[in-house]
């Protein structure tokens, strides 16, 4: 792991610790309602076939990401196969620091542009990173939305 990767991991750990330990945050009742809402996200409406879950663009359950300028929506978690599907909404000018991939990461650009590995990716472009690889800085000048498939422990 590089020093940049360690620094990113420390930033994520600090942000999560601050979010959990914040005394001025919402009370236990708000947390309970939020957790119930997250647990019920995608619950099937009456008449929905067994095994199906739906997510709609109008769903407003975005979560903050430890990197400023990024918010994320958990679309699905597959514990059996060890992956989560996430939608990231990245503000213009956001820079994502170098980091290590413990597991494979797949990234599909939906809109905007994303720069990584010395290349510019636009709508419809895709990048795959194997597990146990190091990723340099990613950034976007105009902002972007990307679909990620990652091990849940890497993002949640």
- Report the largest interatomic distance among the alpha carbons of the chain, rounded to a whole angstrom: 52
pLDDT of residue 47: 79
Mean local confidence (pLDDT), 92-99: 93
Q: Which domain holds residue 60?
A: 3-154
pLDDT of residue 36: 47
Q: How far apart are CA 88 and CA 111, in angstroms?
A: 11
Q: How far apart are CA 113 and CA 128, in angstroms?
A: 16
Q: What are phi and psi of 29, to 5 degrees?
A: -65, -40
Whole-structure pTM value: 0.68
Rounded to 5 degrees, what angle do the CA atoms 137, 140, 145 make? 110
Which pLDDT tens digit goes with each residue over 112-136? 999 999 999 999 999 999 999 998 8
pLDDT of residue 74: 92
Yes or no: say if 62 and 72 are a contact pair by the CB < 8 Å rule.
yes
DSSP state of 41: T
How many CA atoms lie within 13 Å of 136's alpha carbon, on the beta-carbon side?
A: 7
Mean pLDDT of the chain: 79
Yes or no: say if 7 and 97 are a contact pair by the CB < 8 Å rule.
yes
Which residues have CB under 8 Å from 148's CB, separation 6+? 85, 86, 87, 88, 105, 106, 107, 108, 155
Mean local confidence (pLDDT), 68-73: 94
| Domain count within the chain | 1
Which CATH number belongs to the domain containing residue 89 in this structure? 2.60.120.10
């Amino acid at each position: 792991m590089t020093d940049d990767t360690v620094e990113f991991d420390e930033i994520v750990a600090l942000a999560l610790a601050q979010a959990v330990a914040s005394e001025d945050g919402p009370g236990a009742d708000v947390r309970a309602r939020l957790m119930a809402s997250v647990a019920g996200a995608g619950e099937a409406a009456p008449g929905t076939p067994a095994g199906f879950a739906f997510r709609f663009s109008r769903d407003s359950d975005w979560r903050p990401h430890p990197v400023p300028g990024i918010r994320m929506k958990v679309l699905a978690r597959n514990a059996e196969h060890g992956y989560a599907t996430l939608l990231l909404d990245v503000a213009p000018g956001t820079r994502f620091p170098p980091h290590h991939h413990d597991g494979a990461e797949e990234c599909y650009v939906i809109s905007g542009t994303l720069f990584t590995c010395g290349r510019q990716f636009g709508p419809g472009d895709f990048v795959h990173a194997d597990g146990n690889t190091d990723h340099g800085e990613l950034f976007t000048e105009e902002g972007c939305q990307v679909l990620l498939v990652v091990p849940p422990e890497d993002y949640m």
